[in-house]
Amino acid sequence: METQQHHEQSEAGDVAADRVRIFDTTLRDGEQTPGFSMDRRAKLRMAQMLEALGVDVLEAGFPQASPDDFAAVAEIAGMLRDTTACALARCVPGDIDSAGRALEQARRSRIHVFLSTSPLHREHKLGMSKAQVLDAAVAAVERARGLCHEVEFSAEDSMRTEPEFLVEVFSAAIAAGATTVNAPDTVGYMTPAEIAERFAYLRANVKGAERVVFSSHCHNDLGMAVANSLAAVGAGARQVECTINGIGERAGNASLEEIVMALKVRGAYFGTDTRIDTRKLYPASRLLTELTGQSVQRNKAIVGDNAFAHESGIHQHGMLKHRDTYEIMRPEDVGIAETKLVLGKHSGRAALRKRLEALGHAPDDAALDDVFARFKALADKKREIHDDDLDALARGRDPDAAGPWRLTRLDTSAHLGAGASASVKLRHEDGREVAEAALGDGPVDAVLRAIERATGTGLQLSRFQIQAVGEGGDAQGEARLAARHAGRDWNGHGVSTDIVEAAAQAALAIVNRIEQHAPAAQPAASPSPRTAKTKTLGASR
């Protein structure tokens, strides 16, 4: 462990740097969100991504909460190289000692102690007087100081605490050795103007304020967590506590990606920046959704599917002329490949022509008029038009035409601890019948593999989404699949009261489109009639 002198010199240098530190609490506060818990392996993967992203401090968990939480914090602490490993602890000796043990292998460690300070919490949660709160805070900081490189003190429910008492608590915590003091808006109650006023007051009145970093931790109950965090930065806070995708208790925490990009895009206004590699924001968001199974809404700022998508014809025309007309940042800056001109009922001819040209079609004005008319008719029926739809329109085909393959039989079975199996029977419009079976990680995976084998069409699945259509136990499920084949993206969807059947219909829709769009001289591969008569059980690949 570093010497105390080295530690103090390092901290002084950090305070002098006019940079906002990103304190990520995805694995602690974020993981407390119902439905977002992660096992140890998932936490390690996320921690690796967060360090690659460039977060300054990674709050890995609450070691005293459970043996597994302790083990996860210890493993993450030993793994981090450039990011400070942080563990949460109440102002209780057992918590603090547990956090210290969990951080023993960290190259740089921080214990984050917290204690409620508001009148409401003092009376109804703690049953403590102001003097008792002060004593407990000082004792906790002093104890933690001997077990780690840095100590952060948080006054829980700061924003509903008497400002004069908050000054007293923070002054005492700094004198005891805290290097960061955090004033959280624990219940998301404040407005940006109030947050800015409170931080300015604290920085002007707390003794030793010039020696520490002031931190903001805002919750999103009124939808103002990011705005409040940025207001705190404007008032001198130089650490922001946040999470990927804004996950967290109740309505969530301040969104890391939104704060980082606001500071980057409006750098001239805020006069500060972060050390985040913004090109990894989208990959970090995707990884979290993969690990938790919880997706972000399409219109989520920075990382949502619609963040860099344009459907309106007016917007698309402006984007084709100059991207700055409707985009204040580049999708590449956050790790998204490119802007999407989504084709739907609001799109115009310019965007349609541009996309058709990208797909290898060069219609003249008369042909474009014909395709555009059929495109508009299709757009009235579908929420979004995909490339395979456009290809069919350009070739004069009906994108929604059925066949050539049709599902006539489907059987699946799942085996506890041993994956699943599925068998399918398909009929081709030319009269062939094909039966195939396969194993998979689950029934949906097994069905997809069986359909691949039956049709001879390999699919590289890139997206799989199932959602209920309606309510109740007999509600239909809608499956949406996206897959790559022969260097192209293909989309399909199916609806059934059986989600496995819905997935099978979606996969078959993709296979049908691939075969329909194949050149006449080179039809999509399919089993020969002789092979089609056999039924084999293929091993999971």
Task: Report the distance separating Cα 272 and Cα 397, nearest Å.
Answer: 55
Which one has a higher pLDDT value, 184 or 521?
Answer: 184
β-strand pairing of 460-469 with 476-485: antiparallel
Instruction: Tell me what the pLDDT averaged over the chain comes to.
Output: 84
For the chain, the structural domain boundaries read 21-292, 309-394, 405-538
Does residue 3 have a pLDDT over 80?
no
For position 476, what pLDDT does the model report? 65
What CATH class is the domain 21-292?
alpha beta
Residue 540: which pLDDT band, with cuts at 50, 70 and 90? very low
For position 8, what pLDDT does the model report? 43
The alpha helices in 146-187, defined as continuous H runs, are: 163-176
Tell me the average pLDDT across 515-519: 72
For position 87, what pLDDT does the model report? 98
The DSSP string of 395-459 is: TT--TT---SEEEEEEEEEE-TTS-EEEEEEEEETTS-EEEEEEEESSHHHHHHHHHHHHHT---
For position 376, what pLDDT does the model report? 78
pLDDT digits (tens, 9 = 90+) for 251-304: 999 999 999 999 999 999 999 999 999 999 999 999 998 898 888 888 899 988
Which one has a higher pLDDT value, 469 or 513?
Answer: 513
What is the three-class DSSP state of 145? Answer: helix
Residue with tokens 């940025």: 230
Q: What CATH number is given for 405-538 in this structure?
A: 3.30.160.270
Residue 342: which pLDDT band, with cuts at 50, 70 and 90? low
- What would the two tokens of residue 513 be? 């489109």
Task: Report the distance separating Cα 521 and Cα 293, nearest Å.
Answer: 43
pLDDT digits (tens, 9 = 90+) for 210-232: 999 999 999 999 999 999 999 99
Question: Which residues are CB-contacts of 511 (< 8 A; sequence separation ≥ 6)?
Answer: 405, 451, 455, 457, 459, 524
- What would the two tokens of residue 434 be? 């094909």
Q: Which long-range contacts (CB under 8 A, 24 or more apart) does 307-311 make?
A: 307/331, 307/334, 307/336, 308/336, 308/338, 308/339, 308/340, 309/339, 309/340, 309/341, 309/342, 310/339, 310/340, 310/341, 310/342, 311/341, 311/342, 311/343, 311/344, 311/346, 311/347
For position 509, what pLDDT does the model report? 85
Of 36-50, 308-322, 400-414, 525-539, which gets the smallest average pLDDT?
A: 525-539
Tell me the average pLDDT across 366-376: 80
pLDDT digits (tens, 9 = 90+) for 425-469: 998 988 899 999 999 888 888 999 999 999 999 888 888 887 765
Fold matches, 21-292 and 405-538: no
Radius of gyration of the CA atoms of the chain, in A: 28
What is the three-class DSSP state of 342? Answer: coil
Q: Which of 109, 200, 91, 205 is nearest to 149 (CA)?
A: 109
